[in-house]
């Protein structure tokens, strides 16, 4: 994957998200996001393909008013 | 620093003040008056509170006094002043989360932990300062001012629960609740010479706290002693279906193993990463603490937790999009009301769902790896932070000559155990040459909070640190 994150890409993503973002802020965010993404995507521990995400979803049982 | 004398009610431990209230030696009103007098004199220097609630606290103290006199004693928290980080919902009381965005938020009900404390008869003293929206570790709040560390007024108290730690350390209350997403109870406890604990993820419901990151947020007490932490945990733990992460497991009496020795206890030392780099004085104190644990009967062995350094790469891909989701209307409609944490939320808006899921999968790998390690030992110990508290406003740059970013410096040693959901406690383990506190982190197996409390209490009992208080 190519993690090169440009100011233009950040502005495009912000537009997609409906997030108002000035160009100078986009430039600053691009400098943070690019290396962070590179580090994250470089991680692939053994058995990664079989890993499930650590997310909570629970079907409530009777009498359980969980919002989850 | 000072040691307590008989006149300093405000520096008794929660257990001590509780026993004196139960025996009739002290009344809840008398205790609250001591706390209010203490706070009134020092709060202008510390700025621990956003909203003190002394009037309501006095009503609650009077009620506690009447109930106890009538034989209706509710237990160890009855009549005891306790503070709350300002991200806990409190019925009829502003709950800002340290943000101007929530300056007008007045909850219509108490959060789970607050309701449980009130049911136990605790006297809530008010809402304590915190890092803006809990996104940071300095508690240098751009809207409500910087909270100062009672051990050094030019120093940060840590954070994000910095007001909670400063208040307990200064004698403004006998315990306080904080929240801990990647460090925010343990970090300020370490910097303020206190005990700070987060139980296993799901042990204490986070319902009724302003969220930072639903999959990482923990609720936890900051106290003067390990036993005090156990006493508070006894009252706030338990299943709550309103929190989707809450787990319906038996809640033990967390005080039951306090006082047991450490013979047969196996402790692992993950020196690689957790001890590199360290401020030399922090290293000396932690090494001395390890010696004490050994002398108390624990067996100590070196081991590795290889994926731990990845935690501070992974967690922003969890916490930022989750924060952005909660704050989606704020960041679009009222972005000018943010202080210096706005960029974190903006970044959260830009992270792809697949990268968020990737981070959650990597988190699973980290948890599985730690589970394997914890089959060999009963607990891990390490420093809570790499340095003592920094000067307010100073950049976070180097430790022992090595460069680290602010995240790596502040949360690098605590975040791994937030991702794994492990129970973890920070206990005081000494002071540096400037008189600033140092913390020892003890991490346990999932759901075995009793073990880390046992180890922490044994260590605390063999050392003088919890008897010391800042001179203010």
Taking an 8 Å cut-off on Cβ atoms, the answer to whether A45 and B332 are in contact is no
Alpha-carbon gap, residue B43 to B35, rounded angstroms: 11
H-type helices in B70-128, by residue range? 112-119
Instruction: Report the first-to-last Cα separation within chain A, whole angstroms.
Output: 34
Give phi and psi for B443, each to the nearest 5: -120, 135
Residue of B nearest to A45 (CA): B365
Q: Among the options B27, B161, B184, B319, which is catalytic?
A: B184
CB-neighbour burial class of residue B71 (10 A; exposed 0-12, middle 13-18, buried 19+) = exposed
How does the average pLDDT of chain A come out, rounded? 88
Is B160 in the active site?
A: yes
The residues near A50 (Cβ < 8 Å, ≥ 6 apart) are none
Instruction: Answer left, alpha or beta for residue B254, where phi above 0 means left and psi between -120 and 50 means alpha.
Output: alpha
Among residues B239, B262, B204, which one has the least CA distance to residue B461? B262
Q: Which residues of A touch B244 (CB under 8 A)?
A: 56-58, 66-68
Helix A7-17 × helix A23-41 angle, to 10°: 100
Among residues B467, B464, B440, which one has the least CA distance to residue B197? B440
Among residues B460, B439, B456, B440, which one has the least CA distance to residue B448? B456
Residue of A nearest to B244 (CA): A68
Alpha-carbon gap, residue B220 to B226, rounded angstroms: 12
Alpha-carbon gap, residue B165 to B431, rounded angstroms: 16
Q: Provide the sign of the torsion angle of the four alpha carbons B179, B183, B186, B187, taken in this order.
A: negative
Is B127 in the active site?
A: no
For residue A63, the model assigns a pLDDT of 65
For residue B394, the model assigns a pLDDT of 87
What's the gap in Å between the CA of B11 and the closest CA on chain A?
Answer: 41
Q: How far is CA B136 from CA B292, B319, B367, in A?
A: 33, 12, 24
H-type helices in B150-214, by residue range? 162-170, 186-191
The structure's pTM equals 0.96
Q: Which residues of A touch B313 (CB under 8 A)?
A: 36, 39-40, 43
Q: Establish if A52 touches chain B: CB-CB under 8 angstroms.
A: yes
Is B422 in the active site?
A: no
Parts of chain B with a pLDDT under 50: 3, 6
For residue A59, the model assigns a pLDDT of 73
Q: What is the ipTM of this complex?
A: 0.92
Q: Establish if A49 touches chain B: CB-CB under 8 angstroms.
A: no
Q: How far is CA B163 from the centre of its chain?
A: 11
Taking an 8 Å cut-off on Cβ atoms, the answer to whether A66 and B241 are in contact is yes
For residue B408, the model assigns a pLDDT of 77
Question: In which band, very low, low, confident or very high, does the pLDDT at A2 lie, cut at 50, 70 and 90?
Answer: low
For residue B434, the model assigns a pLDDT of 97
Residue of A nearest to B241 (CA): A66
The residues near B268 (Cβ < 8 Å, ≥ 6 apart) are B300, B301, B302, B303, B373, B376, B377, B379, B380, B381
pLDDT over 70 percentage in chain B = 99
């Amino acid at each position: 994957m190519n993690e090169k994150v440009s100011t233009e890409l950040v502005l495009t993503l912000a537009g997609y998200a409906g997030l108002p973002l000035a160009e100078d802020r986009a430039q600053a965010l691009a400098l943070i996001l690019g290396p962070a993404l590179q580090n994250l995507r470089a991680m692939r521990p053994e058995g990664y393909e079989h890993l499930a995400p650590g997310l909570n979803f629970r079907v409530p049982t009777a009498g359980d008013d969980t919002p989850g | 620093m000072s040691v307590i004398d008989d006149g300093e009610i405000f520096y008794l431990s929660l257990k001590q003040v509780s026993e004196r209230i139960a025996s009739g030696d002290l009344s809840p009103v008398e205790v609250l008056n001591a706390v209010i007098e203490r706070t009134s004199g020092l709060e202008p220097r510390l700025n621990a509170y956003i909203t003190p609630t002394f009037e309501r606290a006095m009503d609650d103290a009077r009620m506690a006094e009447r109930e106890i006199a009538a034989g209706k004693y509710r237990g160890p928290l009855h009549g005891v002043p306790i503070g709350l980080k300002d991200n806990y919902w409190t019925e009829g009381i502003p709950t800002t989360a340290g943000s101007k965005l929530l300056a007008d938020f007045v909850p219509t009900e108490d959060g789970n932990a607050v309701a449980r404390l009130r049911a136990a008869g605790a006297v809530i003293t008010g809402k304590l300062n915190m890092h803006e929206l809990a996104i940071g570790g300095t508690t240098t709040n751009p809207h409500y001012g910087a909270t100062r560390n009672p051990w050094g007024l030019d120093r940060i108290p840590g954070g994000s629960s910095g007001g909670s730690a400063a208040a307990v350390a200064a004698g403004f209350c006998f315990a306080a609740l904080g929240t801990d997403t990647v460090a925010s109870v343990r970090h300020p406890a370490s910097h303020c010479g206190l005990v700070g604990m987060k139980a296993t993820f799901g042990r204490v419901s986070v319902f009724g706290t302003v969220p930072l990151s639903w999959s990482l947020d923990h609720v936890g007490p900051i106290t003067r002693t390990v036993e005090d932490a156990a006493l508070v945990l006894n009252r706030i733990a338990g299943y709550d279906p309103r929190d989707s992460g809450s787990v319906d497991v038996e809640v033990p009496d967390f005080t039951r193993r306090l006082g047991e020795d450490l013979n047969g206890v196996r402790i692992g030392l993950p020196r690689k990463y957790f001890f590199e780099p360290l401020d030399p004085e922090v290293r000396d104190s932690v090494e001395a603490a390890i010696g004490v644990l050994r002398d108390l009967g624990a067996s100590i062995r070196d081991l590795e937790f290889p994926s731990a350094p990845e935690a501070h790469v992974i967690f922003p891909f969890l916490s930022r999009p989750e924060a952005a989701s909660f704050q989606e209307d704020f960041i679009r409609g009222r972005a000018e009301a943010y202080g210096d944490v706005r960029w974190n939320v903006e970044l959260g808006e830009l992270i792809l769902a697949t990268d968020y899921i990737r981070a959650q999968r990597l988190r699973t790998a980290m948890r599985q790896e730690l589970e394997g390690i914890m089959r060999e030992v009963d607990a891990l110990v390490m420093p809570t932070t790499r340095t003592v508290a920094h000067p307010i406003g100073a950049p976070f740059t180097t430790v022992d000559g090595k460069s680290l970013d602010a995240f790596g410096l502040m949360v690098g040693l605590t975040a791994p155990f937030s991702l794994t959901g492990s129970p973890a406690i920070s206990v005081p383990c000494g002071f540096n040459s400037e008189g600033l506190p140092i913390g020892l982190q003890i991490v346990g197996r999932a759901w075995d909070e009793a073990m880390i409390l046992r180890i922490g209490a044994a260590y605390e009992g063999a050392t003088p640190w919890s008897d010391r208080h800042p001179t203010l």
